[in-house]
Amino acid sequence: MALQLYNTLTRRKEPFEPAEPGRVRMYDCGPTVYSYTHIGHLRPALVADVLARYLRSLGFEVVHITNFTDVDDRIINRANEEGVTAEAFANRYIDDYLDCMRRLGITTVDRYVRVTDHIADIIAMIDRLVTNGHAYPLDGDVYYDVTSKEDYGKLAGRSLDEMLAGARVAVDERKHHPMDFALWKGVKPGEPSWPSPWGPGRPGWHIECSAMSLRYLGDHIDIHAGGDDLIFPHHENEIAQSEAFTGDAPFVRYWVHNGMLQIDQTKMSKSLGNFIRLHELLDRFPAPAVRLFMLTTQYRKPMNYSEAAIGEAERGWARLRQAREHLRQALGAPAPQRAPVAVEEELVDAEGAGAAATAVPSRRQSADALRQAVLAAQTAFTAAMDDDLNTAGALGAVFDLVRAVNSALAGPREREPLAEAERALNAMLEVLGLAAEPAAAAGDDRLLEGLMALLLDLREEARSYRDWAAADRIRERLAAMGVAVEDTAAGPRWQLTQEAPAPRA
RNA sequence: GGCGACGUAGCCAAGUGGUAAGGCAAGGCUCUGCAAAAGCCUUAUGCGGGGGUUCGAAUCCCCCCGUCGCCUCCA
């Protein structure tokens, strides 16, 4: 079975097939940059990132565009309050956003585009909509005429009449239809503006995403993603104006919307003071743990943020990275081959002898079990991801594989199955964006490696004299410095307990 | 009020007709000088509540309860 995506437009899961075979064009709505990046911004960015990663792993070429809406009433008002330009104001939050994305390993975006760099595209688009009879100028503004096409409301699943019935805001009487929305807003005092055929002004909300996606991705895009709070009016309006512009539906083949993030069961909002800045979160938790947390819920479901939940994710991440690191060490070092194979084989055959818990599987059994687990995990992982990007289910497969790897690592080892398991595990983690090099893979730090080898040698010597006080002191001091030492049957091993510092570029 | 989504163990969360994945937490055991890590076992006759369809329902239908989102510009 191939990838299926839930399409908001049809309200069904549909087999995914891009318009052009092998090539996927996707656009996701980034933030309006009027404040610091918060964890609510992360979900759509992460969903798009994982989707792009998965598509690439399936062999698709993916062109992925994300936008910044950097001109908007909130931006203008706040910039004016601070006495800075809207541009400088927006830049501050764009930088914050990009830095968060970098830390989180959101790497699939080919190009971030901003509205103020595309005013000419926007004006050209509005101009044609006016010419086509889909929009009309009005006192320096330009409005889109929602009655100019029959299918307005198809994404939201509501007719114009139904929308009017639910209207909770006073209607601007000048407009042809109450639902008509602004494509262009005439300038008001204190606002940035650009010249246009309708006088100086700025783009309305909605038109920018259409203009920029048409510019970079053409008349038809395969996937358009965003939060489900954008379904109406933002995406509805994008469809209307884009299809009115090109005269060639569908503008978007698959509309992908993620559920909202809540904080402790309530809506995240400034007034409630439960706004969590992504930067602060990333200072307190490892970025992969944050990613893992977000991926434990299927993207369309609403999800709840809580300290407890992200703490659990942090421990889950520790399990993943340790398995990965132990696997790496096992494959990097010569496999311990102490016990003769024959002895191990005998242990298995001794069916009635001893408790089951102490029975050691043969090397052959262990290898077969691991191979089987790898295949099962790959199958389950793909099935889950194919089913509308079910990352929660996919993580179940990952953890199943981790358990199998840990078991294999504890018993007699055979190199090739372990290497297969490592490849499979890394491939899955790569799709989920959790494959960043573990901190302990500090192979490039020769001095650290050398010092640790020395310390562990000394400690082993102390242990051989049964000088536990000395051995424990070394271990405790290292622990305090962020180096965990563990004694295993194959000798001591160590790793850093904190994430590696960002590599110096 | 209208439209939509969601409600599965102590917590998080998969599972859309065939008898409840996975993670975290907790308890027991194994390994260990101790510890850590890991492995094994235990923890939902039960899937918000109530009806119904069916040989069989967390999954389908109806009603109810609860939570959340959206309901033009002004945001």
* Domain assignment of residue A369, yes or no: yes
Q: And the tokens for A264?
A: 């402790």
Q: Total structural domains in chain A?
A: 3
Last residue of a domain, one of A236, A267, A284: A284
Chain B bases closer than 7 A to any CB of the protein: 1-7, 11-16, 21-25, 29-40, 67-75
* Domain assignment of residue A6, yes or no: no
* Domain assignment of residue A260, yes or no: yes
Same domain, A77 and A138: yes
Of residues A206 and A158, the one with the higher pLDDT is A206
CA of A2 to C1' of B40 (A): 37
pLDDT at A168: 54
CA nearest neighbour of A305 among A282, A285, A276, A270 = A276
Q: What is the mean pLDDT of residues A71-94?
A: 91
Per the CB < 8 A criterion, the answer to whether A243 and A220 are in contact is no
Q: At what angle do helices A287-295 and A86-104 cross, to 10 degrees?
A: 80
How far apart CA A323 and CA A406 sit, in angstroms, is 7
Nucleotide nearest to A398 (CA to C1'): B22
Residues in Cβ contact with A157 at an 8 Å cutoff, skipping those fewer than 6 apart = A11
CA of A224 to C1' of B64 (A): 37
Same domain, A263 and A411: no
CA of A218 to C1' of B49 (A): 51
Cα-to-chain-centroid distance, residue A63: 16
CA nearest neighbour of A385 among A318, A338, A452, A431 = A431
CA of A377 to C1' of B11 (A): 26
Alpha helices, H only, A58-175? 73-82, 86-104, 119-131, 160-166
* Domain assignment of residue A292, yes or no: no
Residue nearest to nucleotide B40 (CA to C1'): A357
Say if residue A195 is preceded by a cis peptide, omega within 30 of 0.
no
Q: And the tokens for A126?
A: 């509005």
Q: And the tokens for A52?
A: 């792009």
The string of DSSP letters for A196-233 reads -TT-SEEEPTTHHHHHHHHHHH-S-EEEEEEEGGGIII
* Domain assignment of residue A5, yes or no: no
CA of A250 to C1' of B53 (A): 40
The pLDDT of residue A338 is above 60:
no
CA of A344 to C1' of B36 (A): 27
The chain-wide mean pLDDT, for chain A, equals 86
* Domain assignment of residue A290, yes or no: no
CA of A410 to C1' of B39 (A): 8
Q: And the tokens for A315?
A: 């421990």
Q: Which of A160-164, A413-417, A480-484 has the lowest mean pLDDT?
A: A160-164
Same domain, A189 and A49: yes
How far apart CA A391 and CA A313 sit, in angstroms, is 14
Same domain, A245 and A365: no
Which CATH number do you get for residue A261?
A: 3.40.50.620
ipTM value greater than 0.95: no
CA of A276 to C1' of B8 (A): 28
How far apart CA A6 and CA A15 sit, in angstroms, is 9
Nucleotide nearest to A384 (CA to C1'): B14
Q: What is the mean pLDDT of residues A292-316?
A: 91
How far apart CA A183 and CA A141 sit, in angstroms, is 8
Nucleotide nearest to A466 (CA to C1'): B33
Q: What is the per-residue pLDDT across A106-147, written as a single tens digit (0 to 9) for each? A: 999 999 999 999 999 999 999 999 999 999 999 899 999 998
Residue nearest to nucleotide B24 (CA to C1'): A312
Same domain, A335 and A376: yes
Same domain, A333 and A269: no
CA of A203 to C1' of B51 (A): 55
- Label residue A220 by pLDDT band (50, 70, 90): very high
The pLDDT of residue A310 is above 50:
yes
Calculate what percentage of chain A has a pLDDT beyond 70.
Answer: 87
pLDDT at A315: 93
H or E element in which residue A246 lies: helix A236-246
Same domain, A70 and A187: yes
Of residues A275 and A398, the one with the higher pLDDT is A398
CA of A487 to C1' of B37 (A): 9
How far apart CA A452 and CA A449 sit, in angstroms, is 5
Residue nearest to nucleotide B29 (CA to C1'): A357
- Label residue A225 by pLDDT band (50, 70, 90): very high
CA of A274 to C1' of B57 (A): 40
Per the CB < 8 A criterion, the answer to whether A183 and A142 are in contact is yes
Nucleotide nearest to A227 (CA to C1'): B69
Nucleotide nearest to A411 (CA to C1'): B39
CA of A292 to C1' of B33 (A): 37
How far apart CA A370 and CA A400 sit, in angstroms, is 11
Nucleotide nearest to A300 (CA to C1'): B5
Nucleotide nearest to A320 (CA to C1'): B23
Structural domain boundaries enclosing A334: 324-344+358-432
Q: What is the per-residue pLDDT across A439-481, written as a single tens digit (0 to 9) for each? A: 444 455 788 888 998 999 999 999 999 999 999 999 999 988 8
Same domain, A390 and A454: no
CA of A395 to C1' of B31 (A): 28
* Domain assignment of residue A427, yes or no: yes
Q: What is the per-residue pLDDT across A180-199, written as a single tens digit (0 to 9) for each? A: 899 999 998 888 999 999 99
The pLDDT of residue A430 is above 80:
yes
Look up the pTM and report it. Answer: 0.89
Q: And the tokens for A21?
A: 């075979």
Residue A234 carries which DSSP code?
Answer: I
Sign of CA dihedral A185, A187, A189, A192: positive
How far apart CA A457 and CA A87 sit, in angstroms, is 58
Cα-to-chain-centroid distance, residue A338: 44
Nucleotide nearest to A141 (CA to C1'): B73
Same domain, A328 and A460: no
Last residue of a domain, one of A432, A456, A473: A432
Residue nearest to nucleotide B71 (CA to C1'): A166
CA of A198 to C1' of B57 (A): 62
Nucleotide nearest to A397 (CA to C1'): B22
Same domain, A411 and A467: no
* Domain assignment of residue A311, yes or no: no
Residue nearest to nucleotide B2 (CA to C1'): A166
Calculate what percentage of chain A has a pLDDT beyond 90.
Answer: 59
Last residue of a domain, one of A406, A432, A458: A432
Nucleotide nearest to A393 (CA to C1'): B14
Same domain, A408 and A471: no
Q: What is the per-residue pLDDT across A359-402, written as a single tens digit (0 to 9) for each? A: 455 677 778 889 999 999 999 999 999 999 999 999 999 999 99
pLDDT at A444: 59
CA of A43 to C1' of B63 (A): 35
Residue A147 carries which DSSP code?
Answer: G
Nucleotide nearest to A326 (CA to C1'): B37
Same domain, A406 and A453: no
